[in-house]
Copies of this chain bind each other. A is one copy, B any other.
């Protein structure tokens, strides 16, 4: 293979030295960065670029391109030095590393067209690579390979073992993890040091093909990559390396993590000075077209009869199956609770586009990030409470501009007897605090269906919160709900207070309004189904017209619907009087109606809150 390479006259060892020099140069120019973590992996990546990667830098959108993920994202100086060697960026741009306005950030992001996903939180790159490899096998159905450069420190992260398990079981032979075993973490030696056999035993037990090599021996690296290409299972190249390799003052030394070399000029001289080698990365052979699961059509959403009772989780499942029928890019991901979240309905309708991750929420979210990088539209779903497990990956997804649809079921105390461990009570706070996110919380089945359709094409992170129990259908099947909208369900010129709820509390608010109306107290009711962005204008109108607002939510008091409402008035205007009802005490087991009452978010609590606002001081 090497003979036919366009780089047959390239000394790969020399390229490795150039990468080291450039990593040192750009970090020195920045005054920060991780040159020593780059130097350990320089030969590994030089060999990859010169002889094995199939990538067209002129056409990063080519679906046949291999994928390279730097799971050790802090080795960004190496990545950018590779881009320079491949002719993708200039030396001038390389030296903008970490500067204000530069796209060469401290940790790589998809602001660079050759980067699929943002990394920098360790343990994320490999499970994302699993998602890309699954996409290659099962969605795109193209023979591209996925290369993931991992650190040895990050092998302590559980998310890596979710990835090893999933990839091994799925026999993803298009996936290669290149582990830069440089023995030194940020603080000091790693748990297993240079004991690559310890990693090989573990990774091998998960069904991978482990290969132990000297990570500074180009011939060994070359052979390992060739072996990986021939393997019928995922391959882990466990490469023994030296952090800071090539520079005596830095090599295998503690205390050098994450800082420029103390004497860059001397180091560069020791490495033989600056070079301007060019590596010709071979474009992919094939001109394959990604598989399609059919022609796009018009979405025919399910419809539900007003007055019946349907759980919004049921409507989610029905709607996603319907959206999937019309939109062949939609895929569904589950963490072994599809029967509860109702992702099962999608799975039954579209088994080829349904992926089971078992109880591994991090791997599930990471796989979705990988799939959306290739243009698919993934929906991930589990109990809202358990999305907390995958939250860092949602956070990183947002940093990388990922389009992720996340559905959390079993929201709030209203689930009843299962108790607090199963209740999503912080999910609104978590997803509102995701940059650029959309947070939706429908109260009925038709609204849910409409919002699933709206969410499908919405960019960024979109979160849909569903309810376990059946709730009355209050909207007709033809009503359309848009992101950033709301519905005023009760309104009159005589309204004295506005009650704002979403999801299950909309029904409590409506019942309270009816009860108060019987006592001659007119109350406006707003269904704030779009918790972020909120319909600020409707809230401002209500504030102006009624002067007082009660918010009611099945969520902790922090970061949910009440805060979303109050935030509207946090921009320098006069706020109305607001009274927030939310879950204050720690719930235990009880029936759903007992839970709502105990939490003080049931209809009677709303009635009491309205009356308290109207009582003379």
**Interface positions of A (Cβ within 8 A of B):** 30-33, 73, 98-107, 109, 111, 118-123, 153-154, 156-162, 165, 169, 185-187, 190-191, 201-202, 204-206, 334, 336-340, 344, 356-360, 362-363, 385-386, 388-389, 391-392, 395-396, 398-399, 416-422, 425-426, 429-430, 432-436, 532, 551, 556-559, 562-563, 566-567, 569-580, 586, 588-591, 594, 598, 609, 612-613
- Assess the B111–A588 pair: CB atoms within 8 A: yes
- Assess the B559–A563 pair: CB atoms within 8 A: yes
- Assess the A187–B418 pair: CB atoms within 8 A: no
Contact of A388 among B32, B101, B391, B579 (CB under 8 A): B391
**Whole-angstrom distance between the alpha carbons of A573 and B549 in the complex?**
11
Most buried by B among A154, A420, A566: A420
- Assess the B206–A122 pair: CB atoms within 8 A: no
**Whole-angstrom distance between the alpha carbons of A578 and B568 in the complex?**
10
- Assess the A417–B98 pair: CB atoms within 8 A: yes
- Assess the B153–A158 pair: CB atoms within 8 A: no
Given contacts A395-B388, A563-B567, contact A191 B358 (CB under 8 A): yes
**Whole-angstrom distance between the alpha carbons of A396 and B422 in the complex?**
10
8 nearest A-B residue pairs (beta carbon): A158-B158, A120-B421, A161-B161, A156-B358, A388-B392, A559-B559, A100-B590, A205-B205
Given contacts A358-B156, A421-B119, A575-B575, contact A186 B337 (CB under 8 A): yes
- Assess the B571–A580 pair: CB atoms within 8 A: yes
Q: How far is the CB of A194 from chain B (nearest CB, A)?
A: 15
Given contacts A105-B588, A421-B118, contact A187 B336 (CB under 8 A): yes
- Assess the A421–B579 pair: CB atoms within 8 A: no
Contact of A417 among B106, B165, B399 (CB under 8 A): B106
Q: How far is the CB of A74 from chain B (nearest CB, A)?
A: 8
**Whole-angstrom distance between the alpha carbons of A388 and B104 in the complex?**
25
Residues of chain B contacted by A338 (CB below 8 angstroms): 187
Contact of A185 among B107, B153, B336, B573 (CB under 8 A): B336
Q: How far is the CB of A501 from chain B (nearest CB, A)?
A: 15
- Assess the B421–A572 pair: CB atoms within 8 A: no
Task: Please name the residue on chain B nearest to A613 by beta carbon.
Answer: B572
**Whole-angstrom distance between the alpha carbons of A160 and B359 in the complex?**
11
Residues of chain B contacted by A571 (CB below 8 angstroms): 579-580
- Assess the B572–A422 pair: CB atoms within 8 A: no
Contact of A426 among B30, B103, B395, B591 (CB under 8 A): B395
Contact of A433 among B186, B417, B426 (CB under 8 A): B426
